[in-house]
């Protein structure tokens, strides 16, 4: 498993340096900066990084297209959504770490995406991600500094990944299989009757998030696709009968 920390348009070079430092503290070395607004190799960043200079110097500067290269894209947010805002329905860092330990993700490329210091991630950017992680905090001041957020999440991942793995014999669902599951679910949604386009959009969002948040195994995905195939077949027969 390869875990990369991706910073979206960071403005504060000191924050970038602090994140490099906390990444090395927990044994993570892949740092990616998307459209940075600061110089991550300036003296301020280097001073904050302390003995994590290698994380800074090896950091890659990329565009948003880099997100397409990952099997799982994990967004972070301090703004919790309601039941009606699917994109901001999060899990905790502890739950994330537990999921990582339970499954064999050795060949997976995982992105931990950190939003801007000022506004975090926008809704359309969250849409590009598979699910979100939020750190429980006091409601009077829920937004943490991005370096603190990264430290807490990486701590939970490190804590769980260092434990004996329970799921080494379980093969996780692949990116291609997730894509096929979404395609089949969209077929089912199309065959069902929904009164508005908004309801159709919501259904698609909910199922896409459920598939990725569940960290399905390959066997589970095949079982679901078998059921989806049966549903599609039965729904198409019903539709033909109604036309007659």
Distance CA 1, CA 105 (A): 5
Q: Please state the φ and ψ torsions of residue 5, each to the nearest 5 degrees.
A: -95, 120
pLDDT in tens, 189-201: 998 888 898 989 8
Domain spanning 2-161: which CATH class is it, in words?
alpha beta
Report how far apart, in Å, the C-alpha atoms of 40 and of each of 14, 15, 20, 25, 176 are. Answer: 8, 9, 10, 19, 35
The pLDDT tens digits for 52-64 are: 999 999 999 999 9
CA end-to-end span of the chain, whole Å?
53
Give the rounded percent of residues in the chain with a pLDDT score beyond 90: 50
Domain residues of the chain, as ranges? 2-161, 175-243
Distances from the Cα of 7 to the Cα of 59, 179, 203, 207, angstroms: 11, 26, 30, 27
Q: Given a cut of 70, is residue 81 above it in pLDDT?
A: no
Please, are residues 40 and 6 in contact by the beta-carbon 8 Å criterion? no
Residue 234 Cα distances to 71, 188, 229, angstroms: 32, 10, 9
pLDDT at 24 over 60: yes
What proportions of the chain, in percent to the nearest 5, are helix, strand and coil? 50, 15, 35
* 3-state SS assignment for residue 175: helix
């Amino acid at each position: 498993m390869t875990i990369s920390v991706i910073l979206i348009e960071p403005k504060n070079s000191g924050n970038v340096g602090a994140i490099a430092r906390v990444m090395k503290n927990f044994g993570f070395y892949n740092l990616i900066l998307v459209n940075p607004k600061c110089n991550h190799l300036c003296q301020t960043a280097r001073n904050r990084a302390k003995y994590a200079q290698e994380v800074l110097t090896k950091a890659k500067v990329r565009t948003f297209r880099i997100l397409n290269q990952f099997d799982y894209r994990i967004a972070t947010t301090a703004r919790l959504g309601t039941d009606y805002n699917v994109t901001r329905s999060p899990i905790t860092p502890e739950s994330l770490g537990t999921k990582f330990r339970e499954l064999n993700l050795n060949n997976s490329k995982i992105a931990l995406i950190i939003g801007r210091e000022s506004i975090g991630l926008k809704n359309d950017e969250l849409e590009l991600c598979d699910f979100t992680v939020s750190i429980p905090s006091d409601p009077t001041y829920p937004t943490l500094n991005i370096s603190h957020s990264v430290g807490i999440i990486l701590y939970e991942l490190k804590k769980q990944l260092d434990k004996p793995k329970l799921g080494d014999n379980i093969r996780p669902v692949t990116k291609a299989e997730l894509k096929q599951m979404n395609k089949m679910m969209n077929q089912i949604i199309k065959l069902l009757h929904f009164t508005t386009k908004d309801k159709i959009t919501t259904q698609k969002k909910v199922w896409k998030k459920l598939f990725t948040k569940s960290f399905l195994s390959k066997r589970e995905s095949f079982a679901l696709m078998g059921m989806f195939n049966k549903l599609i077949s039965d729904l198409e027969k019903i539709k033909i009968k109604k036309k007659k």
